[in-house]
Structures are given as structure tokens and as C-alpha cells.
Amino acid sequence: MLIYEKVRRYIDEHGIRQAFVAQKCGISVTTFNAIMNGRRKMYAEDLRAICYALEVSPEEFIEYRCEKIN
């Protein structure tokens, strides 16, 4: 699952309005909607602002994979 899909699912599951998140992170509603629908790339700065608005850590949406090197 892509990061924007995880963010969108989190917002939907918590009953948060996208317009509220967009306003709180200083992203226009149109741009935020484009990010949440995969029509615009989500940059690190976007994710940082969204996480700040949602009061969650980016780790909520980012999956880390560590492979052991022998």
C-alpha cells in the first residue's frame, strides 16, 4: 500500500475531514485532494505537515524494511 493510501485510510477510519487536515497543514484543499487520490506526488514536506496536523509520527505510514547483510 502506498503512503498516500495509508494516510487516506487513517483519515477515513478516524472520521477526519480532508478539508480540516488540508487547512491545518497549510495545503490547499485541491492540492490535498490530489495527493490523497494519487494525482500529485506526496513529498516528504507534505507528509511532515500531514503528520503534524494529525498529531501522529510518520512511522504510522512508513514501513521500514531492514535486510540483514551477511
Residue pLDDT, tens place only, 13-66: 999 999 999 999 999 999 999 999 999 999 999 999 999 999 999 999 998 776
Whether 12 maps to a domain, the answer reads yes
Whether 27 maps to a domain, the answer reads yes
Q: Tell me what pLDDT residue 70 has.
A: 64
Whether 28 maps to a domain, the answer reads yes
Number of domains in the chain: 1
Q: Tell me what pLDDT residue 64 has.
A: 75
Q: How many CB atoms lie within 10 A of CB 18?
A: 16
Whether 17 maps to a domain, the answer reads yes
What DSSP designation does 39 have? S
pLDDT at 12 over 80: yes
CATH of the domain at 14: 1.10.260.40
Supply the pTM of this predicted model. 0.84
